[in-house]
A and B are shown apart, each in its own frame.
Chain A
Amino acid sequence: MKLPPFEYACPTTLPEAVQLLAAGDGEAKALAGGQSLVPMLAFRLAQPKLLVDLRKLADLRGIRISEKGVALGAMVRWREIEDDGRLDSAHPLLKAAVAHVAHYQIRNRGTVGGSMAHADPAAEMPGIAITCDAEIAVVGTAGARVIQAADFFQGPLTTALTPDEIIVEIRLPRWPTGRRWGFEEFARRRGDFALGAAAVFYDPDADGKATNAHVGAIGVADRPLRLDAVEEVMNGQRIDDATIAKAEAAASASVDPQSDIHASGAYRRALIGTLVERALQRAAA
């Protein structure tokens, strides 16, 4: 369908953008790449009175890599992550996950901040944020604050952002050398939303046993999940066939996915076990 009518503003500073959103009184939406919001408008699932375009805000751009980790400006597009060779070592898990995000044309426009704010339960970026304990830096009329990924996603398409807040940056903690990782996704067609995906990493100790296990899952609940039970199975163990089998069972047991037109709940429960298994095999290889 054609988009519903709205007004449009294209501020040049972040404070101006925040003021415009605040003045919208809950009826204004920030527009980043538009690859989720514009379809929402086309379906009339969203009918904001005002769109505040963030494209001129230089503060939201750029990928910064430092001792502290990787900071992604909210307006960083998928394509920029794909093209940034530094991320192959600075955050290989991010790079692997982003390779699954959407189709070619969408990747040239879609942004990390937009994906986080949209909070689709099957989207890769929110899953990586949850898996990696990301921090989401936001700014609003009450000032700047940092939201932990675990507190950010509150349900399908629902986040902790207030209507006047804009995501500035997504911060992923430093990725140490020697970390083992895997990312496995299943979709009927490359680039489509995942039926499920698993992101895993751990830091092997001197004996080769897993420490600091992190396991995330997308597409199996109303928001991206951390699978604590799988992490417990892994920590202190070698990631061998026996541990991987236990991890697979724990993954399936710890989710309760809904059935929808794409797959039944039972299918998704089995799928997430298999994806965790494959991701761990890849991590341990």
Chain B
Amino acid sequence: MSVRFEVNGKPVAVTVEPRTTLADCLRHQLRLTGTHLGCEHGVCGACTVLVDGAAVRSCLMLAVQAEGTKVVTVEGLSEDADLTPLQKSFRKHHALQCGFCTPGMITTAHALLSEEPDCDAARVREVLSGNLCRCTGYISIIEAVLDARAAYRPKVRATDRP
């Protein structure tokens, strides 16, 4: 079946079998291998991408269901070659070791902070409870997400100042 949607701001048209998950379509057909597949049944969260702004598990969504949507993967978060503030914060806090879970952590935390830039540690823990990490013990990840909150808050523009 042919499917059209948008990935990281660019329109794409792919031909997939109905059984192809969005994750496999992104990795194998669109060569966006930043999205990782851990469990392939919706438990580990490594394959999290944004679909129309909402964090979803791309192993639990068929590529054909993405028709007409806007998909953002970890590759699409940064507008240039630089790291985003959230990614920088992960580096600063040593919030990764092997890095396998990191794309899912980053996309999930990005969705959370975009909607709730003032969330507290309990909320970060609750949201990231759907993402498994076998290296870090999570503490550094929570710290990295909390530290990145400021970058998601609306900035006070110079012209707004009295």
Please give the residue numbers on chain A whose beta carbons come within 8 Å of chain B beta carbons, in ascending order.
Answer: 1-8, 10, 31, 34-35, 38-39, 41-43, 51, 53, 55, 79, 102-106, 108-109, 189-191
**Inter-chain contacts of B60 with A (CB < 8 A):** 34-35, 38-39, 106, 109
Residue in B41, B57, B62, B126 whose CB lies within 8 Å of A8: B62
* Known contacts A1-B40, A103-B129, A190-B129; A8/B1 CB under 8 A: yes
Interchain CB contact under 8 A, A3 and B56 = no
Interchain CB contact under 8 A, A51 and B56 = no
**Inter-chain contacts of B67 with A (CB < 8 A):** 10
- Bound: A51/B42 CA distance, A: 19
**Inter-chain contacts of B65 with A (CB < 8 A):** 31, 34, 53, 55
Q: Closest residue to A4 on the B side, CB-wise?
A: B19
Interchain CB contact under 8 A, B56 and A105 = yes
Residue in B19, B40, B48, B62 whose CB lies within 8 Å of A105: B48
Please give the residue numbers on chain B whose beta carbons come within 8 Å of chain A beta carbons, in ascending order.
Answer: 1, 17-19, 21, 24, 40-42, 45, 48, 51, 54-57, 59-62, 64-65, 67, 108, 111-112, 126-130
- Bound: A2/B23 CA distance, A: 11
**Inter-chain contacts of A55 with B (CB < 8 A):** 65
Interchain CB contact under 8 A, B129 and A191 = yes
Q: List 28 A-B contacts (CB under 8 A).
A: A1-B40, A3-B19, A3-B21, A5-B17, A6-B18, A8-B1, A34-B60, A35-B42, A38-B59, A38-B61, A39-B41, A39-B60, A42-B40, A51-B62, A53-B64, A55-B65, A103-B127, A104-B112, A104-B127, A105-B56, A105-B108, A106-B42, A106-B57, A108-B54, A109-B61, A191-B126, A191-B129, A191-B130
- Bound: A104/B54 CA distance, A: 10
Distance in angstroms from A238 CB to nearest chain B CB is 35
**Inter-chain contacts of A2 with B (CB < 8 A):** 19, 24, 40
Nearest first, the 9 closest Cβ-Cβ pairs linking A and B are A103-B130, A8-B18, A108-B54, A3-B19, A42-B41, A39-B41, A104-B127, A38-B60, A105-B55
**Inter-chain contacts of B128 with A (CB < 8 A):** 104
**Inter-chain contacts of B45 with A (CB < 8 A):** 103, 105
- Bound: A43/B17 CA distance, A: 18
Q: Closest residue to A104 on the B side, CB-wise?
A: B127
- Bound: A130/B49 CA distance, A: 35
Interchain CB contact under 8 A, A104 and B55 = yes
- Bound: A191/B112 CA distance, A: 16
- Bound: A53/B65 CA distance, A: 8
**Inter-chain contacts of B18 with A (CB < 8 A):** 5-8, 51
Distance in angstroms from A45 CB to nearest chain B CB is 10
Interchain CB contact under 8 A, B130 and A5 = no
Interchain CB contact under 8 A, A6 and B19 = yes
- Bound: A55/B40 CA distance, A: 22
- Bound: A104/B130 CA distance, A: 7
